[in-house]
Structure 1
Amino acid sequence: MRYLFDYLKMANMVKLVGLVDPGQVSSQSGTLSHRSKHLSESLKKADGDQFYLVPYNPGGHWVLIIVRPAKETVYYMNSLPNRSVDEDMRNIVNT
């Protein structure tokens, strides 16, 4: 994430992307309520057509959730084939 931030800064694109701390939304980070609240607080800071990158580890490997609050759109990026959306993350985003 640090490399990505540095790259965005160099390209003058920092305001386009928001980064969410994966330690605050991962399944080992507390209750569903706590994790949903952290994500909600992060998304409230969205500016215009900004989107947020939310790294998430459902167990065994990392996935990437991309949230576009202005368009109310969520993308779930999983490099493993034939995997469904993690229910825990679905609940966090829906809440």
Structure 2
Amino acid sequence: MEEIGASCVSLYIRILYFQLVKREISHFFRFVEPIWLSNVGSTEEERVEWVSKRMIDSNPGQMWLLPYHKGKHWMLIIIDFDHQLCYFLDSLHNFPPDEIKSLISRVFQHLRTNNAKTEEVAWRTVKCPRQPLQSVQCGFYVMRMMKDFVTNEFSMRWLTSNCGGKNYYTKDEINEVREEWAQCVMDLMSTT
């Protein structure tokens, strides 16, 4: 249960994407690479441009998942593009940081030049499963929340009911994500 980086989360996004393709529902969900939200080595303008280019081809009804890393902590943003609504999930139960709210607001402003929508971006803080205090499990919690959201038959109901009312993840639930990730790494290693 050590701290994980963006490459681990990116690989897990790949795992989820292939699960969605297999179930023929990949058109409902899109992902943004965590590094595109990171302020390491890039300006906010560059990040706005990268995320905007990714989201410009959004289809009606698609939900966007954006894992966000600030400092040493992972959080998840789920965007309902059609309604310009951002759901913020943080396993430490913090509110959305101003810098990510500003970045997402600028992404929508950038997209509005190609779109007639004029509403402001709204934010909802979701009471999601809480990680153990003094732990570094936030990355695993973000991966598990992404999995729960995209694999749930009623994903919006799961989200708007505060992650189905789940207060924490069990060790087995976290280990399921870790094992999927490890199996993918092993599969990739065996093909090279």
Per the TM superposition, whether the score is higher than 0.5 is yes
- 1:1-95 to structure 2, matched below 5 A, reads 1-81=13-93, 83-95=94-106
Structure 2's unaligned 5+ residue stretches are 1-12, 107-192
Cα distance in 2 between the residues matched to 1:8 and 1:86: 30
CA shift, 1:15, in A, is 0.5
**Partners of 1:90 and 1:29 in 2: CA distance:** 20
Structure 1 residue 50: Cα displacement: 0.5
| Higher strand residue share | 1
Unaligned stretches of 5+ residues in structure 1: none
**Counterpart Cα distance in 2 of 1:74 and 1:84:** 12
Give the CA deviation at 1:27. Answer: 2.1
Distance 1:67 1:43 in 2: 10
C-alpha separation in 2, matches of 1:29 and 1:69? 27
Counterpart AA for 2:37: V
Quote the offset at 1:67 in angstroms. Answer: 1.0
Runs of 4+ residues over 6 Å off in structure 1 = none
Deviations 1:16-70 (A, max 9, x none): 0111111111121411111111111212111111011111101112111111111
Report the 3-state secondary structure (helix = DSSP H, G, I; strand = E; otherwise coil) of the residue aligned with 2:70: coil
Write the letter of the residue equivalent to 1:60. Answer: K
Q: 2:99 & 2:41 partners in 1: Cα distance?
A: 12
RMSD: 1.2
Paired residues in the alignment total 94
Larger Cα-atom Rg: 2
Letter in 2 for 1:40: S
Q: What TM-score comes out, normalization by structure 2 length?
A: 0.47
Higher helix fraction (1 or 2): 2
